[in-house]
Amino acid sequence: MATDTAPTNTEVHVERATTRDGEGIAALINFWAAQGQMLPRTLGETYENLRDFFVVRQDGRVIGCAALHITWSDLAELKSLAVEESTQSRGIGAALVRACVEEGRALGLDRLFALTYRPGFFERLDWEQADVMNLPRKVWNECYRCPKFPGCDEIAMILDLKPADAAS
């Protein structure tokens, strides 16, 4: 699907996930979840939401994943963004975000949001910090599963997809 070129000229191929990627996606997410970096996912949840996912593979193995989950008519969450530890800083994370943004535009969404501990990573991709209280309450429907609930310390990031002349 989307092809992105990292600064090292290494091509990053982002593709839609298939059922063969389910275990790899869940393993990658749960590796980072065990370190408190993101919410864990069961294998069942991963398959139920598989059509949200993009992946980057290396020799058939999932080394990066991200999901775009529609929340409302104008809004979607970029979630479950994870890149294998040994393949970080090669532009894979950025390529996955761009694939989600591309899909968000194709779907006609106005805004994307993400909850993250890595605001700097998103800011480099033109996302902006937002007041979490300005997000619709529906975005909190997964929070009760978080080990940190209700003491959320993630930062809300927003990307406006509307063209400037339509943003009135």
Ligand X SMILES: CC(C)(COP(=O)(O)OP(=O)(O)OC[C@H]1O[C@@H](n2cnc3c(N)ncnc32)[C@H](O)[C@@H]1OP(=O)(O)O)[C@@H](O)C(=O)NCCC(=O)NCCS
Which residues here bind ligand X, judged by CB under 6 A?
6-8, 32, 37-38, 81-83, 88-94, 114, 116-118, 120-121
Distances (CA, A) of 112 to 1, 5, 80, 149, 155: 20, 23, 14, 22, 14
Residue 46 CB, nearest distance to ligand X (Å)? 16
Judged by CB, which is closer to ligand X: 145, or 164? 145
**Distance of alpha carbon 36 from the chain centroid:** 16
Residue 94 CB, nearest distance to ligand X (Å)? 3
Q: Angle at Cα 37 formed by Cα 35 and Cα 55, nearest 5°?
A: 110
Judged by CB, which is closer to ligand X: 114, or 161? 114
Residue 31 CB, nearest distance to ligand X (Å)? 9
Contact yes or no for 90/10 (Cβ under 8 A): yes
Q: Shortest Cβ contact with ligand X: which residue?
A: 93
Judged by CB, which is closer to ligand X: 76, or 81? 81
Judged by CB, which is closer to ligand X: 18, or 89? 89
Distances (CA, A) of 117 to 65, 106, 107, 144: 17, 27, 27, 18
Residue 165 CB, nearest distance to ligand X (Å)? 30
